[in-house]
Protein backbone atom coordinates (compact mmCIF):
# COMPACT_ATOMS: atom_id res chain seq x y z
CA UNK A 1 0.00 0.00 0.00
CA UNK A 2 1.41 3.38 -1.06
CA UNK A 3 1.06 5.68 1.97
CA UNK A 4 1.34 8.89 -0.05
CA UNK A 5 -1.47 7.84 -2.38
CA UNK A 6 -3.62 6.72 0.55
CA UNK A 7 -3.05 10.07 2.29
CA UNK A 8 -3.96 11.93 -0.90
CA UNK A 9 -7.14 9.89 -1.40
CA UNK A 10 -8.27 10.31 2.22
CA UNK A 11 -7.46 14.05 2.17
CA UNK A 12 -9.47 14.53 -1.01
CA UNK A 13 -12.37 12.59 0.48
CA UNK A 14 -12.35 14.70 3.64
CA UNK A 15 -11.98 18.03 1.80
CA UNK A 16 -14.73 17.08 -0.63
CA UNK A 17 -17.12 17.18 2.31
CA UNK A 18 -15.97 20.72 3.18
CA UNK A 19 -15.22 22.68 0.01
CA UNK A 20 -15.75 22.49 -3.76
CA UNK A 21 -12.45 23.26 -5.52
CA UNK A 22 -9.01 22.22 -4.30
CA UNK A 23 -5.79 20.47 -5.28
CA UNK A 24 -3.87 18.09 -3.02
CA UNK A 25 -0.21 17.15 -3.29
CA UNK A 26 1.55 14.75 -0.91
CA UNK A 27 5.33 14.54 -0.49
CA UNK A 28 7.45 12.66 2.02
CA UNK A 29 10.27 14.52 3.77
CA UNK A 30 12.32 12.77 6.47
CA UNK A 31 9.48 10.43 7.41
CA UNK A 32 6.86 13.21 7.58
CA UNK A 33 4.20 13.36 4.89
CA UNK A 34 3.63 16.94 3.76
CA UNK A 35 0.04 17.42 2.59
CA UNK A 36 -0.13 20.60 0.50
CA UNK A 37 -3.64 21.85 -0.20
CA UNK A 38 -4.23 24.63 -2.73
CA UNK A 39 -7.61 26.32 -2.96
CA UNK A 40 -8.86 29.67 -4.22
CA UNK A 41 -12.14 29.54 -2.38
CA UNK A 42 -13.13 29.01 1.21
CA UNK A 43 -9.56 29.09 2.56
CA UNK A 44 -10.80 30.12 5.99
CA UNK A 45 -13.05 27.05 6.07
CA UNK A 46 -10.03 24.77 5.74
CA UNK A 47 -7.64 26.74 7.98
CA UNK A 48 -10.15 27.74 10.66
CA UNK A 49 -9.78 30.20 13.50
CA UNK A 50 -6.10 30.35 14.53
CA UNK A 51 -5.44 27.20 12.48
CA UNK A 52 -7.81 25.03 14.55
CA UNK A 53 -9.40 23.35 11.52
CA UNK A 54 -6.09 22.65 9.77
CA UNK A 55 -4.83 20.97 12.97
CA UNK A 56 -8.07 18.97 13.24
CA UNK A 57 -7.78 17.82 9.62
CA UNK A 58 -4.21 16.76 10.32
CA UNK A 59 -5.25 14.77 13.41
CA UNK A 60 -8.18 13.11 11.62
CA UNK A 61 -5.89 12.06 8.76
CA UNK A 62 -3.36 10.64 11.24
CA UNK A 63 -6.12 8.54 12.88
CA UNK A 64 -7.48 7.34 9.52
CA UNK A 65 -3.99 6.36 8.36
CA UNK A 66 -3.19 4.59 11.61
CA UNK A 67 -6.30 2.44 11.18
CA UNK A 68 -5.46 1.68 7.55
CA UNK A 69 -1.72 0.95 7.77
CA UNK A 70 -1.48 -0.21 11.38
CA UNK A 71 1.25 2.25 12.39
CA UNK A 72 1.57 5.93 13.27
CA UNK A 73 2.07 8.18 10.26
CA UNK A 74 3.37 11.73 10.76
CA UNK A 75 1.45 14.22 8.66
CA UNK A 76 1.81 17.99 8.31
CA UNK A 77 -1.06 19.73 6.52
CA UNK A 78 -0.43 23.09 4.83
CA UNK A 79 -3.06 25.21 3.06
CA UNK A 80 -2.01 27.97 0.65
CA UNK A 81 1.37 28.42 2.43
CA UNK A 82 -0.38 28.99 5.79
CA UNK A 83 2.48 27.32 7.70
CA UNK A 84 5.10 29.65 6.18
CA UNK A 85 3.02 32.73 6.97
CA UNK A 86 2.39 31.39 10.47
CA UNK A 87 6.12 30.87 11.00
CA UNK A 88 6.89 34.45 9.97
CA UNK A 89 4.18 35.76 12.31
CA UNK A 90 5.44 33.65 15.22
CA UNK A 91 9.05 34.72 14.65
CA UNK A 92 8.00 38.38 14.72
CA UNK A 93 6.01 37.74 17.90
CA UNK A 94 8.95 35.91 19.49
CA UNK A 95 11.35 38.75 18.61
CA UNK A 96 9.00 41.31 20.13
CA UNK A 97 8.56 39.40 23.39
CA UNK A 98 12.26 38.47 23.56
CA UNK A 99 13.09 42.18 23.26
CA UNK A 100 10.72 42.92 26.14
CA UNK A 101 12.33 40.21 28.28
CA UNK A 102 15.81 41.55 27.53
CA UNK A 103 15.01 45.20 28.22
CA UNK A 104 13.00 44.64 31.40
CA UNK A 105 14.95 41.61 32.74
CA UNK A 106 11.52 40.35 33.80
CA UNK A 107 9.88 37.12 32.55
CA UNK A 108 7.37 37.69 29.74
CA UNK A 109 4.39 35.36 29.19
CA UNK A 110 2.69 34.62 25.87
CA UNK A 111 -0.82 33.20 26.15
CA UNK A 112 -3.21 31.49 23.75
CA UNK A 113 -0.66 29.48 21.74
CA UNK A 114 -1.10 25.96 20.43
CA UNK A 115 1.56 23.39 21.30
CA UNK A 116 2.90 23.75 17.74
CA UNK A 117 3.17 27.53 18.13
CA UNK A 118 4.91 27.21 21.52
CA UNK A 119 7.39 24.76 19.98
CA UNK A 120 8.12 27.16 17.10
CA UNK A 121 8.77 30.04 19.50
CA UNK A 122 10.91 27.86 21.82
CA UNK A 123 13.09 26.93 18.84
CA UNK A 124 13.31 30.48 17.47
CA UNK A 125 14.28 32.05 20.81
CA UNK A 126 16.82 29.28 21.53
CA UNK A 127 18.50 29.81 18.14
CA UNK A 128 18.43 33.62 18.07
CA UNK A 129 18.64 34.77 21.69
CA UNK A 130 21.30 32.72 23.54
CA UNK A 131 20.95 34.91 26.64
CA UNK A 132 17.28 33.96 27.01
CA UNK A 133 15.49 30.79 27.98
CA UNK A 134 11.92 29.62 27.35
CA UNK A 135 9.61 27.20 29.10
CA UNK A 136 5.91 26.46 29.33
CA UNK A 137 3.73 26.70 32.42
CA UNK A 138 0.11 25.86 33.16
CA UNK A 139 -2.17 23.10 31.94
CA UNK A 140 -4.52 22.63 28.99
CA UNK A 141 -5.95 25.83 27.52
CA UNK A 142 -4.24 27.87 30.26
CA UNK A 143 -0.77 26.73 29.16
CA UNK A 144 1.50 29.64 28.30
CA UNK A 145 5.06 30.23 27.18
CA UNK A 146 7.52 32.16 29.33
CA UNK A 147 10.60 33.96 27.99
CA UNK A 148 13.18 35.16 30.49
CA UNK A 149 16.86 35.93 30.80
CA UNK A 150 19.16 33.09 31.80
CA UNK A 151 20.49 33.20 35.33
Do 118 and 89 belong together in one domain? yes
Q: Give the CATH number, domain containing residue 125.
A: 3.30.1370.50
DSSP string, 40-90: SS-HHHHH-GGGHHHHHHHHHHHHHHHHHHSS--EEEEEETTHHHHHHHHH
Reported in sequence order, the residue ranges of 106-143 that DSSP labels E, i.e. its strands, are: 108-110, 132-137
- pLDDT of residue 1 exceeding 70, the answer is no
Among 80, 111, 131, the domain-final residue is 80
Q: Which stretch of DSSP H or E encloses residue 3?
A: helix 3-16
Return d(Cα 150, Cα 148) in angstroms, integer. Answer: 6
Domain range for residue 38? Answer: 3-80
Confidence of residue 115 (pLDDT cuts 50, 70, 90): confident
In the chain, the percentage of residues whose pLDDT exceeds 90 is 66
Across the chain, what does the average pLDDT equal?
Answer: 91
pLDDT tens digits, one per residue of 46-74: 988 878 899 899 999 999 999 988 889 89
Q: Where residue 42 falls among pLDDT bands split at 50, 70, 90?
A: confident
Q: In terms of domains, do 109 and 64 share one? A: no
9 pLDDT exceeds 90? yes
Same domain assignment for residues 36 and 71 = yes
In a shared domain, residues 70 and 9: yes
> Any idea which of 2-11, 41-50, 99-108 has the lowest mean pLDDT?
41-50
pLDDT over 80 at 84, yes or no: yes
**Whole-angstrom distance, CA of residue 54 vs CA of residue 45:** 9
CA angle 7, 59, 137 (to 5 degrees): 145
The pLDDT score that the predictor gives to residue 110 is 94
> Last residue of some domain: 47, 80, 113?
80
Beta bridge partners of 26: 35
**What is the domain-level CATH number for residue 59?**
3.30.300.20
Residue 46 CA to residue 53 CA, distance in Å, equals 6
pLDDT at 31 over 90: no
Count: domains in the chain? 2
Average pLDDT over residues 123-145: 93
Amino acid sequence: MDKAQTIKTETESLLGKMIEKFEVEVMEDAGVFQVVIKTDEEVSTVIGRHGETIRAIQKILEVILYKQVGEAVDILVNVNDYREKQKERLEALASEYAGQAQSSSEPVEIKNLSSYERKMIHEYVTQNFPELTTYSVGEGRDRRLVIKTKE
